[in-house]
Structure 1
């Protein structure tokens, strides 16, 4: 009798150990993400950074990936990056030559990247000169910033649904308000660039001014794209609408949120899962 009890006890323990092992395997993150940000000066960009650093951890818990964030750009070095499969630039780019080289090598050696809005900005002369040819000309392909709409406005996007990261999206959808950028180079002429979403003509006129140059009435404007030589996706989104009319009252009130658009949020999440190597 005691032998039977002992055997049963051993069997139960073995089963429990197997279940525990399986649970441990299932909770291991599918991939690890590190997001770099600055969150200074522009209140709309700061608002987006705060939103992103709240939204991504929720998605990480739900979809089983790890998300870390840092404003310490000195972490953009080979040893630190070796622990992560995906790098995010939430609002800026590195300026230090060593950090830039570390990022370039990371991407050329199979790393993955997602960037938002101001992370592609460059304008000479300005605080953010175009002095990084590999990043702005080859990697992003867009060159310098040229102009933008104002004020932040929602747009209808025309989506390339034949790409792995966008295949579960509708052909068109409406975004949250954003400050949309126009670029120096025509991305359609770059054989390495695949445009994943552009402003649909149903969006025009886009922007409210007050300057007429800040209102788009026609034209082709890519806003999400990938460079097929790398594992990357750039999103022009990342500028929330703010209470600009009362900016001197220090209210800093956010009037819109990027991820409040369900399809926009899905587009970012699907792209991130694709970058992380998750296939469906």
Structure 2
């Protein structure tokens, strides 16, 4: 009988240990359920959802901007109660994936396959929101990004092909051309962050579907430092922010950080979103697009 006592004690300890482990498992399960519920509630309570597409492989200035954007937008999302996601998988440009989002951003490039392009066009034509930055509008025959998407470059953006650019990246004085929710509380003129500025083949002033919101003010000239003479602009009219009145969209020419190419360090010398007035344009645009009904 005495020999059985240790066995009984051990059995009792095993049962106690089993109960303790079971209790911990139950607590973990309950915590997971609560956390999952909180996450779903947080997603559901977001005013709108934004998805940014990017490539971040072609130019250090564009790569720098993408990294900056993917740090800046999440902070903005937290402040203004929307959800921000980003992806470098352009195959996510499909109806099922896009159905979760009210606003699409192109941070540096554009979709290249037929399926991606058709899905994006359908998304836009069904009332989806869009902001394209800088290189996302680039198209030049004979380059890696030829003008082979007429709807996007001529109908949607209205800009056509890339014409030329300034160099080095420099600040410009920008001028508000038309009032719009995007330009709300923005000064009539303001100084931008350093940028490489683009000229386009199409004159956007002649397109009745395009509403130019911001252009380069003549006080900016000469704009650019060269060394090539054609990289310095001395006159002309250059829109840098505009919308197509037929769609919920905005194109923003900004999105090229200044980089130390000359000394070979590839160090970022300027950041696009450090300019508060210019950044307010983007805030206004996101709130306008995200809170608009399809």
Q: Shared fold by TM > 0.5? A: yes
| Equivalent in the alignment of 1:274 | 288
1:140 paired to 2:157:
yes
1:88 paired to 2:105:
yes
Task: Pick the aligned partner of 2:273 from 246, 250, 259.
Answer: 259
What are the Cα deviations for residues 154-193 of structure 1, in whole angstroms up to 9, with x where unaligned?
0011113521121211111101100000000000000000
Taking the TM superposition and a 5 Å limit, the aligned residue runs for 1:181-196 are: 181-196=198-213
1:116 paired to 2:133:
yes
Gaps (5+ residues) in structure 2?
1-37
Taking the TM superposition and a 5 Å limit, the aligned residue runs for 1:200-215 are: 200-215=217-232
Q: Write the distance in 2 (CA, Å) between the matches of 1:158 and 1:61.
A: 30
- Please report the TM-score for the alignment, with normalisation by the length of structure 1: 0.88
8 Å contact from structure 2 (residues 51, 86) kept in 1? yes
What are the Cα deviations for residues 184-206 of structure 1, in whole angstroms up to 9, with x where unaligned?
00000000000010000010100
Cα distance change of structure 1 residues 275 and 148 upon mapping to structure 2, 3 Å threshold: same
| Equivalent in the alignment of 1:51 | 68
Gaps (5+ residues) in structure 1?
1-20
User: Alignment RMSD, CA only?
Assistant: 1.6
Q: Write the distance in 1 (CA, Å) between the matches of 2:42 and 2:216.
A: 42
Q: Write the distance in 2 (CA, Å) between the matches of 1:260 and 1:167.
A: 19
What's the offset of the Cα at 1:125?
1.2
Q: Write the distance in 1 (CA, Å) between the matches of 2:58 and 2:211.
A: 32
Query: Which has the higher mean CA deviation after the structures are superposed, 269-278 or 259-268?
Result: 269-278
| Equivalent in the alignment of 1:165 | 182
- Please report the TM-score for the alignment, with normalisation by the length of structure 2: 0.84
Q: Write the distance in 1 (CA, Å) between the matches of 2:65 and 2:281.
A: 16
1:79 paired to 2:96:
yes
Task: Pick the aligned partner of 1:63 from 80, 83, 91.
Answer: 80
| Equivalent in the alignment of 1:131 | 148
Q: Write the distance in 2 (CA, Å) between the matches of 1:275 and 1:226.
A: 11
8 Å contact from structure 1 (residues 161, 168) kept in 2? no
SS at structure 2 position matched to 1:177:
coil
| Equivalent in the alignment of 1:8 | none
Q: Write the distance in 1 (CA, Å) between the matches of 2:278 and 2:72.
A: 13
Query: Which has the higher mean CA deviation after the structures are superposed, 158-167 or 146-155?
Result: 158-167
8 Å contact from structure 1 (residues 161, 167) kept in 2? no
SS at structure 1 position matched to 2:263:
helix
| Equivalent in the alignment of 2:6 | none
Query: Which has the higher mean CA deviation after the structures are superposed, 158-167 or 57-66?
Result: 158-167
8 Å contact from structure 1 (residues 88, 115) kept in 2? yes
Q: Write the distance in 2 (CA, Å) between the matches of 1:25 and 1:173.
A: 37
Q: Write the distance in 2 (CA, Å) between the matches of 1:55 and 1:25.
A: 20
What's the offset of the Cα at 1:84?
0.2
What's the offset of the Cα at 1:25?
8.2
Q: Write the distance in 1 (CA, Å) between the matches of 2:76 and 2:54.
A: 19
Q: Write the distance in 2 (CA, Å) between the matches of 1:37 and 1:26.
A: 23
